[in-house]
Amino acid sequence: MAEKFANGRWVKEGFLDNRIVGSVVGQITFAGLETVDVYLIGDFVGEIAGKVVGFQNPRFLDDPQAGESLYDFSIPQLGKVSLMSFDPHPLLDPHPYFEWFSTDQQHYRIELQPDEAWLMSDAQRDIVEGQAQRIRQELAPLLP
C-alpha cells in the first residue's frame, strides 16, 4: 500500500532531523494516531541536507476515519528514506516532499505547500533536541 498524505488530510505537524549523517529522526502528528516517533535510515537532499525541518499543515482534518484507514501504520515508524527534499523534481515547482519506506515495505509520502515547511531556527531546534535524542537512543536498536 502507498499512502500519500497530500491535500492536507491527516498530517497535522512535525519535525524531522537529519543532523546526524545517515539518519532522519523526528515526530509527526497524524489524525487518528496522534504523535508518532520516526527513525529512518538515510538523508535529506539539497538545501535541507544535514538540517532540521519543521512543518505544519493548515489544511489538517482530524478525520475519525483516519485511524481505520491507517490501521497498519507501524508505531513507531521505522524505515528508509526514499526522498526528502524541498525541491524533489526538476519538472515540478519546489515544495516540501518527504517520502520513505517502512521496515515492512509500506510506502509513505507527505507533500506540502512551500510555506508549510521550514528550516528550524536555533531556538526551534533547541525545543526538539531532547525528543530527537530520545528517539535516536530508543529506536536505533529496533532497526534491522
pLDDT in tens, 9-53: 889 999 999 999 999 999 999 998 889 999 999 999 999 999 999
Grid coordinates representing 109 are 509520502
Three-class SS state of 69 = helix
Whole-number pLDDT of residue 32: 86
For 107-116, the pLDDT digits (tens) are 999 999 999 9
Instruction: Determine the pLDDT at residue 4.
Output: 57
Q: Which of 81, 6, 76 is nearest to 34 (CA)?
A: 76
CATH tag for 2-142 (out of 3.30.310, 3.30.70, 2.40.128, 3.40.1350): 2.40.128
Residue 82 has pLDDT above 80, yes or no: yes
Query: Is pLDDT above 70 for 133?
Result: yes
Cell of 58: 493548515
Average pLDDT over every residue of 53-67: 88
Its sign, for the CA torsion 99, 108, 77, 118, is positive
List Cα–Cα distances, 43 to 16, 17, 39, 68, 99, in angstroms: 10, 9, 11, 31, 11
C-alpha cell at 95: 515544495
Please tell me the predicted confidence (pLDDT) of residue 73: 87
pTM over 0.75: yes
What are the CA-CA distances from residue 130 to residues 6, 17, 142 (Å)? 29, 12, 19
Alpha carbon distance 95, 120 (integer Å): 16
Quote the radius of gyration of the chain (alpha carbons, Å).
14
